Structures are given as C-alpha cells and as structure tokens.
Amino acid sequence: MAIIVLFIIFTILSLFIGAYEGMTLQALLAGDERALLIFTHSRVPRTMAVILSAAGLSVAGLVMQAISRNKFMSPSTAGTTDAAALGLLISFVFLGDQSTMIRTGFAFVFALVGTFIFTLVISRLKIRETVYIPLLGMMYGGVISALASVIAFHFEAVQFANMINLGSFARLGGFWGVYVVIVPLIVAVLFATRFSIIGLGEEFAKNLGVNYNRVVMMGLVIVSLISASTFVTIGPLPFIGLIIPNMATSFYGDNLKKSIYDLMLFGAVFVLICDIISRLVIFPFEMNVSLTISLVGGVIFMIYLVKGVFGDGERKAKA
C-alpha cells in the first residue's frame, strides 16, 4: 500500500515540476492554452516514459537474474545495453537517420544476439562466486563498447555515439517508442511463474514439465526488447535492472508472480525521484537523468556488492 501512495505522490510531482512556472493546476482548470499544451505534449508523455522505462528495466533485470540465477545480473552488467548501443550505431552508419521502429529493430537484434552469446558463455563456465559473473559481463560490455567506438571513429559518427550514450527525459514528446515496453511487460507477467521455476535450476524445471530452453529464450527476448526500446527512446538508464530487483525482493521475496507488480512500482518510484532531482538540482536547467541514477544507483550497488561478498564469507566461515 505504501509503495502505491509513493507512486501517486511522485507521479503528481513529476507532472507539475518544470521550468515553466505557469503550468499549475489552477491554470489547467482555467483552460490556459499554453499550460494545457505543455501538460499534454511534454509533462504527461515524459512521466509516462519514466514509468514505463523504469518498470520495464526493473522487470528485465528480475527476469535476467532468474535466468542466470545470479542477483548481480542485469542488462547493464551482461552487455545487453552495450549491444543495443552498437546496433543503434550500426543503423545510423549504414542507413542514416531512420524511423524509431527501424532503429529499435536494429538495437533489439544486436541486444538479443549479444545477450545470448554472453548467456551461452557463462553457462559453460564453472564459476561459483556470484560476483564474478557481472564482472565478466562488464568486461564483455566494455569490449562491445570499444568496438562501437572504433566504428564511430572510422565512420565519423563520434558525435552520434556520444549523444546516444546520454540518458535523458528532457525532450518535447517523441516518447512513443517506449510504449513498445508494454508488450514484453505483459508477456513477463504471464510467464512470471515459469521464470520463478527456471530460477530453481534446469533439472528442477524439467521435472515440473517446464520447457527450460524455451522459457530462457523467451526471457532473453523480453530483456532485449525492453533494453532496445528504452535505449533508443531515452538512452542508457544504468543500475535500474540491477538494484531494483534486489531492493524489491528484499521486501517482497523471490516469487515473481507475487512481486512483479510491486517491482514495477518500486522501479517507477526510484526513477521518478531521480528524474525530479535531475530537474531541481540546477533549476531551471536540467541534469541528465542517467547521471543522477548512476550516482544514486552506484552507491546502492556497492552496498549490495559488499553485503553479498561479506555475506558469502560469513556463510563459508560458519560452514
């Protein structure tokens, strides 16, 4: 109940915080044309984009953690986001400035292939320490990012590469591409129980009659589509898929079916807060929301990382 109240409060704040001080509830009720224009063409689309992107990336992180059985996995620590950026860059280099749908298609294909390769690699590695997998994922993402930099320099697209790597909600409309997230979110809700089952292991899932490989592939498609659509429309939003599932499961447990709605609300509240901070810290100007999320999310991630390391050490010592 508390998370719903917080969600409503910060959604309302997001709708009425901005550089134009004339956009008030009184102005809207009075029928002020400029206030109505800003509200319908800027504030509402922006707030919807914040909610959908946050909910989508939170669910993508939870699905990836279930597939990999690793609490430190997410699109940003498995090379998914970097692969989406590479696909977007390739579409620009060879096709020029295309529609959002085409750009999203390129980003999705590259994200899916990149994530599949990484998942295949880690499945063959006999590494028991959970913190090593995301570190390998960051190295893998670094290699993809370096490849993108080489391509950008070679084709003189450095400015475009720098632009797409800044996450921001500061734009007038143009958020319709993020509505693609609704489809994989619905599928994730429908498959929530199966994702919970495969999180218990391949043999356990097969004993319960679940097609393990099919569910894993469905999960990769969901993660890749969410990552691609949010990246193309908004840019990178780091740490959301990593810290939000861990924070949510701390309160609601590991049952995806029961916690997935709370998880989406939890992620939405987190990004709404970061977006509001980005708008107020240098008001009337605005920081990139990816910077704010990186600062806040980085601290939370380090806390969870240290707790995970020391928690493993304590368990081993007791054993």
* pLDDT at residue number 183: 92
State the burial class of residue 240 (Cβ atoms within 10 Å of its Cβ: 0-12, 13-18, 19+).
Answer: buried
Regions of the chain short of the pLDDT cut 70? 127-130, 171-174, 252-256, 308-319
The closest of 297, 298, 300, 244 to 269, measured between CA atoms, is 244
Q: What is the rounded distance in angstroms from the CA atom of residue 177 to the CA atom of residue 229?
A: 6
| Dihedral over alpha carbons 312, 314, 317, 319 (to 10 degrees) | -70
The crossing angle, in degrees rounded to 10, of helices 212-233 and 182-190 is 160
DSSP letter string over 63-117?
Answer: HHHHHHT-TT--GGGTTHHHHHHHHHHHHHHHH-S--HHHHHHHHHHHHHHHHHH
* pLDDT at residue number 202: 77
Note whether residue 318 is domain-resident. no
Note whether residue 153 is domain-resident. yes
Cα 304 to its chain centre, rounded Å, is 18
Q: Contact, 55 vs 184, CB < 8 A?
A: no
Q: What is the pLDDT of residues 274-314, one digit of tens each?
A: 999 988 888 877 888 888 998 888 888 788 777 754 444 44
Domains in the chain, number: 1
Q: Give the phi and the psi of residue 282 in degrees, each rounded to 5.
A: -130, 35
Residue 196, CB-side half-sphere exposure with 13 Å CA sphere: 14
* pLDDT at residue number 74: 87
Q: What is the pLDDT of residues 195-226, one digit of tens each?
A: 888 877 778 888 888 888 888 899 999 999 99
Q: What is the rounded distance in angstroms from the CA atom of residue 222 to the CA atom of residue 241?
A: 13
* pLDDT at residue number 253: 66
Say which CATH number the domain at 283 has: 1.10.3470.10
The closest of 115, 309, 316, 150 to 227, measured between CA atoms, is 115
Structure tokens at 64: 């990836």
Domain extent at residue 173: 2-313
Question: Hey, is 126 helix, strand or coil?
Answer: coil
* pLDDT at residue number 213: 85
- The residue with tokens 């009659």 is 209
Q: What is the rounded distance in angstroms from the CA atom of residue 182 to the CA atom of residue 200?
A: 27
* pLDDT at residue number 81: 92
Note whether residue 319 is domain-resident. no
